[in-house]
Amino acid sequence: DAKTTQPPSMDCAEGRAANLPCNHSTISGNEYVYWYRQIHSQGPQYIIHGLKNNETNEMASLIITEDRKSSTLILPHATLRDTAVYYCIVRFTSGTYKYIFGTGTRLKVLA
């Protein structure tokens, strides 16, 4: 089963880009990379997902390396409301595609 590793914490200045890395070196060819974030005492919020190509939406950009062994979530202009725990998840596709959460990265955006 693929697993992910993320740095436990990061700081980012308000207005700057936040780049959150994730390693998933054992990912298989048909597994997606998903990113969620969790603000204190709330359920996780979907951010973005991708398979091979880089993806962008109104919240963030996802950069996946060519070998797919790592990815980076980019918040282009971080705000204080982006302070949260960010989870990178590789979605298992066997059976019922369950999502297994790793430890995540606690991002603190500083004023």
Partner 1 sequence: GAVVSQHPSRVICKSGTSVKIECRSLDFQATTMFWYRQFPKQSLMLMATSNEGSKATYEQGVEKDKFLINHASLTLSTLTVTSAHPEDSSFYICSAGRGVTGELFFGEGSRLTVL
**Stretch binding partner 1 (CB under 8 A), from 17-25, 34-42, 65-73, 76-84:** 34-42
Element (H, E) at 39: none
Minimum distance, C-beta of residue 12 to partner 1, in the bound complex (Å): 20
Candidate ranges 14-22, 59-67, 76-84, 96-104; the one touching partner 1 (CB under 8 A): 96-104
Residue with tokens 């980076």: 72
- In the bound state with partner 1, the residue whose beta carbon lies nearer, of 17 and 46, is 46
- Residue 27 CA to residue 81 CA, distance in Å, equals 31
Close Cβ partners of 41 (under 8 Å, ≥ 6 residues apart)? none
Which of residues 31, 34, 75, 90 is near partner 1 by CB under 8 A? 34
Could you tell me which of 102, 107, 39 has the C-alpha nearest to residue 74?
A: 107
Given the rule CB under 8 A, which residues bind partner 1? 32, 34, 36, 38, 41-46, 49, 87, 91, 96-104
